[in-house]
Amino acid sequence: MGYVIAMAGKGGTGKTTVAALIVRILKDNKLGSILAIDADPNSNLADALGIKVKASIGEILDEICVHPEKVPAGMPKERFIEYEVQTAVSEGVGFDCLTMGRPEGPGCYCYVNNVLRDVLGKLIKDYDFVIIDNEAGLEHLSRRTTRSADALVVVSDASKVGLKAAERIIALAKELKIQTKKNLLIINRFNNNLDKEKLEGVEAEYLGNLAQDAGIEKISLNGGSLMELSRDALVLTALNKIGEKIWQRN
């Protein structure tokens, strides 16, 4: 229950794409119930999954903080937040999706965020798998969603600079005391053999590469969802093969 897969990596490496492909594989292989959380304020995981967002958590918190009178009389604020979060969950075919939206502002947010963390903690337990797509930094991961992940999946390009960034991100996760049971590395958009020496210093298990994929390019150009990607796409076959450690519960 509540097996958490958190995505990390520097900007534009393919975190959202790989997150959506993981959702796709878990769903296609019927591995269990799935909650996809878009924790990037410039959210686009829902688009990648073909989901229309009802309301983001940010919008709900704004509403509660700016208009506390909207909390029904006699209802504890905690219950109201719980209810609102539940109604913000969008249902896709074979998975649910929650969008965090923009980060908190000043005012009552500290208290509300604490409540939110409890509410999300409970919600996470209701699903077999929770995939959290993050922005390039990891700071918010400790604040709003969860302080721990079963698998931290770092997506990188194959460049030296890219891998240095991956190394820093994993070190940052440690510094922020985000507890991860396993750190895994995927090199995205790379078709060649990787010189393993380049991985020195990256404290993660290297799973393998995903190639540049023409089907993803086409979907990205036309603004479609990765749920439309052909079942036979090589990138799905590759992720199915290298990714088992991501969703394996040990």
Of 26-34, 111-119, 174-182, 206-214, the window that binds ligand ATP (rule: CB under 6 A) is 206-214
151 binds ligand ATP (CB under 6 A): no
Name the token pair of 195. Answer: 């010189």
User: Residue 6 in contact with residue 140, Cβ under 8 Å?
Assistant: no
Residue 66 or 161: which CB sits closer to ligand ATP? 161
3-state secondary structure of 77: helix
Residue 64 or 166: which CB sits closer to ligand ATP? 166
Give dist(CA 210, CA 128) in Å, integer. 25
We find the least distance from the C-beta atom of residue 138 to ligand ATP, in angstroms, to be 12
72 binds ligand ATP (CB under 6 A): no
Centre a 10 Å sphere on the Cβ of residue 193 and count the other Cβ atoms it contains.
8
Residues numbered 134 to 163 that lie near Mg ion (CB under 5 A) are none
Window 103-142: contact mask with ligand ATP (x via CB under 6 A): ---------------------------------x------
- The residue number with the shortest CB distance to Mg ion is 16
What b-and-e string marks burial along 137-160, b requiring 16 or more CB atoms within 10 Å of the CB?
ebebbeebbbeebbbbbbbbbbee
User: Residue 245 in contact with residue 208, Cβ under 8 Å?
Assistant: no
Nearest to 39 by CA among 103, 91, 94: 103
223 binds ligand ATP (CB under 6 A): no
Residues numbered 1 to 40 that lie near Mg ion (CB under 5 A) are 15-16
Of 78-86, 120-128, 138-146, 209-217, the window that binds ligand ATP (rule: CB under 6 A) is 209-217
11 binds ligand ATP (CB under 6 A): yes
Burial label for 215, CB within 10 Å (0-12, 13-18, 19+), is: middle
Give dist(CA 28, CA 22) in Å, integer. 10
Residues numbered 14 to 53 that lie near ligand ATP (CB under 6 A) are 14-17, 40
E-only strand ranges, 94-231: 96-99, 129-133, 148-156, 179-188, 205-210
Give dist(CA 165, CA 73) in Å, integer. 50
Of 49-57, 107-115, 176-184, 210-218, the window that binds ligand ATP (rule: CB under 6 A) is 210-218
210 binds ligand ATP (CB under 6 A): yes
We find the least distance from the C-beta atom of residue 28 to ligand ATP, in angstroms, to be 18
The correct pick among 120, 216, 227, 246 for binding ligand ATP (CB under 6 A) is 216
Give dist(CA 40, CA 230) in Å, integer. 26
Binding site for ligand ATP (CB under 6 A): 9, 11-17, 40, 136, 188-189, 210, 212-213, 216-217, 220, 235
Residues of this chain that bind Mg ion (CB under 5 A): 15-16
